[in-house]
Amino acid sequence: MKMDFNDKQIEILQVAEKLFAEKGFDGTSVREIAKIANVNIAMISYYFGSKEKLLESIVLHRIGSMGLKLENVLQEDIAPIQKIDEIIKYYILQVNENKHIHQIVQNEITNNKRGINFDSFTALKKNNLKLVESIVKEGQEQGVFKNNINVALFSPMIIGSLIYFNMNKTLYSDLFGLKSESDFDNYIKNEFTHHIQKTIKALLTNEDN
Amino acid sequence: MKMDFNDKQIEILQVAEKLFAEKGFDGTSVREIAKIANVNIAMISYYFGSKEKLLESIVLHRIGSMGLKLENVLQEDIAPIQKIDEIIKYYILQVNENKHIHQIVQNEITNNKRGINFDSFTALKKNNLKLVESIVKEGQEQGVFKNNINVALFSPMIIGSLIYFNMNKTLYSDLFGLKSESDFDNYIKNEFTHHIQKTIKALLTNEDN
Amino acid sequence: MKMDFNDKQIEILQVAEKLFAEKGFDGTSVREIAKIANVNIAMISYYFGSKEKLLESIVLHRIGSMGLKLENVLQEDIAPIQKIDEIIKYYILQVNENKHIHQIVQNEITNNKRGINFDSFTALKKNNLKLVESIVKEGQEQGVFKNNINVALFSPMIIGSLIYFNMNKTLYSDLFGLKSESDFDNYIKNEFTHHIQKTIKALLTNEDN
Amino acid sequence: MKMDFNDKQIEILQVAEKLFAEKGFDGTSVREIAKIANVNIAMISYYFGSKEKLLESIVLHRIGSMGLKLENVLQEDIAPIQKIDEIIKYYILQVNENKHIHQIVQNEITNNKRGINFDSFTALKKNNLKLVESIVKEGQEQGVFKNNINVALFSPMIIGSLIYFNMNKTLYSDLFGLKSESDFDNYIKNEFTHHIQKTIKALLTNEDN
DNA sequence: GATGAATGAGTGTTCATTCAT
DNA sequence: AATGAATGAACACTCATTCAT
């Protein structure tokens, strides 16, 4: 699968990503994408093969440009508890910056009606899980983290709650008095992130009840 | 808003709920619903007015039959920490039992392109939030819960992580070696629920870092 | 074909007549008629057999209740020229009072796609023609009307121009500064009628060019 | 508003014009048009946007190809009374040659339920009216026409009677013994035209009664 | 390599009518 | 005698894709 897209293709990818996230895959027509991206309708089939292949290309393009990998975020010599803080911050930031694609993939993984291949996404998740597991293990060996921690459920907690929070933007903007888009984004970067960090750390360090 | 549906209408509602959850609203055609529900295509418009009204009817029907209200789940005389356990168990159970509708509503609230009214859903959420807040306050007054707890973020954590877990069933079945539908369901009822309970309680009782 | 309609049937006939005239036969649905007439949808088929038969019933009902026949309008002992004035006045009045049905029949006679029977209407026209012919002949014998008058074309001139005038109500209201429905109706009863009378009499009495 | 239609589009316009005139707008389905014009159903929406836009295109196409304008028909140096003869002849010819479109527009102007724009048609009528008014005025100044002539009612008389005559083809073919389509057409071009000319001139020149 | 024209299949909805009660 | 429920057929329109150029 080639990954080098020309300018027109990238324009299409960006427009399509936005529309797919906003209106769903089935709710978006190629006509609409073509119109907004200011290209001929036939281009989408011509460049990407089909509407479904277009979605796969969006995912590939996104993952390819996701910037810093988790591995590079962490310094070797900081305490495990700080590493956890960093990881959560990184996770939330990354998911939030790519929320369009996360929303799309989430829906499409659920609607398995289309045979779209999201292996690259799943692989990324599994890889991240391994890293977190190794850090938790490190903390456990140092005696700062409790045992019996179900690390695999961190992801649902972090990403799941963030997606849910984003999807119910109206409700939470109302509850927290967030008046603008940037208010909302700042809330995620600060209060929300802090809350999740606090929660995970409590789980890792708290005496069992 | 009438809520009394006859048998055929209920059949349609159930089929549509399943299909909408599986394939999305736009990805499901009324023809398909009619075919599977074994009714004439015209019935859907005839009974519900339109495809969109059908979705609203599904939501209403679901909420109307959601059984026990949270208020009735709780005994007065148990400790706040036990109440929290009960609430989480109830929440997860309820969301899981109605996961179809949660999935649909989640997607449709996001894609606000349709003017479908989900106020009843939002009202339910706000109501539940108030209850949890009062219990946390009770615990704080008794000195068993810490202060500075962002209760409004419990919902995203509980429901968000559950929805995410469900949506990535393939991944987590793989990770946890769950071979059947009931394995997966049992995992949610036991390990998953326990994990969330443990997490929330840790958050409520742990010393700040 | 029976002609005795009960109250509900008459209500349906009146509503349908108005709607057919306003929106055309095909542009009007039986649902709409039933709704406005405040009767069950099935009633139309039940009472009249079909939508087409309903139209035939409207025509019959209308003709049956068209009030004074032309024959009775005329006094024996007035001059032919006055008879012509009376006839034209009667014609315009009658067509205008029954403009709905004239509009409908006009359209439906043209659209011969439906096998609707308008013989009763045609018979009325032929009968009226004979009467006018006899009066013109009377005038010709008295030497007050010229010969070579194509009496059969009087009807197109009188009714045709009136229907056209009615159909272009917006245009002519604008041209003549008629601000209300009753302004328009009065214009027909006075200026329009006078104009037609003047025209026909000119034709009947003028030296050939 | 573009007016250049390709061959297939013109084929569709012609078929649609005929069908709309024969069976009305609502009585004609795009399927039928497509079938007879031997094109794919989707072509109608593709070419014209919608069924209603198709009708607007028909009107535009017709008006655009209406050949000689009234202004060019008249020689400067003939007597007003001859000009009137020419105008009537032109009017009847033009309306008769375009009777389909006149019939359609007539019906649709009446059924104002659709927001179709017939301004171009109305503008044409108003323009023609001005021309006739100027000629009548000319005749009045020369003393050959009487005063107090309601020129605005000429149109209803000429066009209205012609449309009525056409719409009741069966009746008048019977009355005048016209056995073929061309008999009927010839009758319009000769006797009918002459009758209208005679009538209008009588009105213009006759002493008031 | 790129695109305007075209299309078969499918969309949600409305239609006049029928039928069991 | 009257009607609520139901339906097959048709409606105008949009879809993603193809193809000749």
Per-residue pLDDT of chain B (209 residues; tens, 9 = 90+): 445 788 899 999 999 999 998 888 999 999 999 999 999 999 999 999 999 999 999 988 888 777 556 667 777 788 899 999 999 999 899 889 888 888 888 878 777 667 677 777 788 888 888 889 999 999 999 999 999 899 999 999 999 999 999 888 888 999 999 999 999 999 999 999 999 999 999 999 987 64
Contacts 24+ apart (CB under 8 A), B63-70: B63/B120, B63/B121, B63/B124, B64/B3, B66/B94, B66/B98, B67/B94, B70/B128, B70/B131
The shortest CB-CB distance from B171 to any of A25, A125, A162 is to A125
- Residue D146, chain C, CB below 8 Å: the answer is no
Q: Which chains touch B (3 or more CB pairs under 8 A)?
A: A
Q: What's the whole-model pTM score?
A: 0.84
* pLDDT (0 to 100) of residue C190: 95
Distance CA B104, CA B111 (A): 11
Distance from CA of D160 to the nearest CA of C (A): 4
Instruction: Find the residue closest to E15 using CA and C1' atoms.
Output: C29
C-contacting residues of D 33-62, CB under 8 Å?
none
Give, in degrees to the nearest 5, the angle at Cα A52 between A9 and A108. Answer: 115
Decide if D160 and C163 are in contact by the 8 Å CB cutoff: yes
Q: How many CA atoms lie within 13 A of D164 on its CB side?
A: 25
Question: Residues 21-60 of A near strand F (Cβ < 7 Å)?
Answer: 28-32, 41-42, 44-46, 50-52
What letter would DSSP give residue C37? Answer: H
Alpha-carbon Rg for chain B, nearest whole angstrom, is: 19
Chain C residues touching residue D129 (CB < 8 angstroms): 175
Half-sphere exposure of D134 (CA within 13 A, CB side): 9
CB of C42 nearer than 7 A to strand F: yes
State percent of chain B over pLDDT 90: 56
Judged by a CB distance cut-off of 8 A, whether residue B79 touches chain A is no
pLDDT of residue C1: 44
| Residue D160 near chain C (CB below 8 Å) | yes
| Yes or no, beta carbons of D26 and C26 under 8 Å apart | yes
Contacts of A57 (CB under 8 A, 6+ apart): A5, A9, A13, A48
Is the C-beta atom of A133 closer than 7 angstroms to strand F? no
Say how far apart CA A180 and CA B75 lie, in whole Å. Answer: 41
3-class SS letters over D130-176: HHHHHHHHHHHHCCCCCCCCCHHHHHHHHHHHHHHHHHCHHHHHHHH
pLDDT at position A34 is 95
Calculate the dihedral angle through the C-alpha atoms of B187, B193, B195, B199, rounding to the nearest 10 degrees. Answer: 160
pLDDT of B65 reads 73
Does residue D176 lie within 7 Å of nucleic acid chain F, judged by its CB?
no
Yes or no: say if B9 and B33 are a contact pair by the CB < 8 Å rule. no
Residues C34 and C40: beta-carbon distance below 8 Å = yes
Whether C81 contacts chain D with CB within 8 A: yes
> B162: burial class by Cβ within 10 Å (0-12, 13-18, 19+)?
buried
Dist CA C107 CA C103 (whole Å): 6
Distance from CA of A32 to the nearest CA of B (A): 14
Q: Are D92 and D162 in contact (CB under 8 A)?
A: yes
| Interface probe with C: pick from D198, D205, D208, most Cβ of C within 10 Å | D198
Q: Mean pLDDT for each consecutive 10-residue tract of chain D (209 residues)?
A: 76 94 91 94 94 92 72 77 91 89 82 73 84 92 92 93 90 93 95 95 81
Nearest Cα to B168, choosing from A162, A156, A131? A156
Block residue for tokens 């202004």: D71
Predicted pLDDT of residue D1? 44
CB atoms A27 and B26 under 8 Å: yes
- CB-based contact, A165 to chain B, within 8 Å: yes
- Tell me the pLDDT tens digit for each residue of A30-84: 999 999 999 999 999 999 999 999 998 998 888 877 755 666 767 778 889 999 9
Q: CB distance B164–A168 less than 8 Å? A: no
Across the interface, whether the CB atoms of A153 and B192 are under 8 A apart is answered yes
**Beta-carbon contacts below 8 Å between C and D:** 149
For the stretch A171-175, contacts whose Cβ atoms lie closer than 8 Å and that sit 24 or more positions apart, written own/partner, are A171/B122, A171/B125, A171/B126, A172/B152, A172/B156, A175/B129, A175/B152
Higher per-residue confidence, A7 vs C1: A7
d(CA B28, CA B54): 12
Beta-carbon contacts of residue C105 (< 8 Å; ≥ 6 apart): C59, C118, C121
- Residue D109's nearest CA partner among C105, C174, C24, C157 is C24
Rounded to the nearest 10 degrees, the angle between the axes of helix A119-141 and helix B169-176 is 40
- Two structure tokens written together for C2: 């029976």
pLDDT tens digits, one per residue of B157-187? 999 999 999 888 888 999 999 999 999 999 9
- Structure confidence at residue A22 as a pLDDT band (50, 70, 90): confident
Secondary structure, 3-state, chain B: CCCCCCHHHHHHHHHHHHHHHHHCCCCCCHHHHHHHHCCCHHHHHHHHCCHHHHHHHHHHHHHHCCCCCHHHHCCCCCCHHHHHHHHHHHHHHHHHHCHHHHHHHHHHHHCCCCCCCCHHHHHHHHHHHHHHHHHHHHHHHCCCCCCCCCHHHHHHHHHHHHHHHHHCHHHHHHHHCCCCHHHHHHHHHHHHHHHHHHHHHHHHHCCCC
- In this complex, do D208 and C198 lie within 8 Å of one another by their Cβ atoms? yes
Round and report the angstrom distance from CA (B38) to C1' (F6): 13
State the residue for tokens 């109302």: A174
Gap between the Cα atoms of D163 and A7, Å rounded: 61
Q: Please report the pLDDT score of residue C68 as a whole number.
A: 56
pLDDT for A44 equals 94
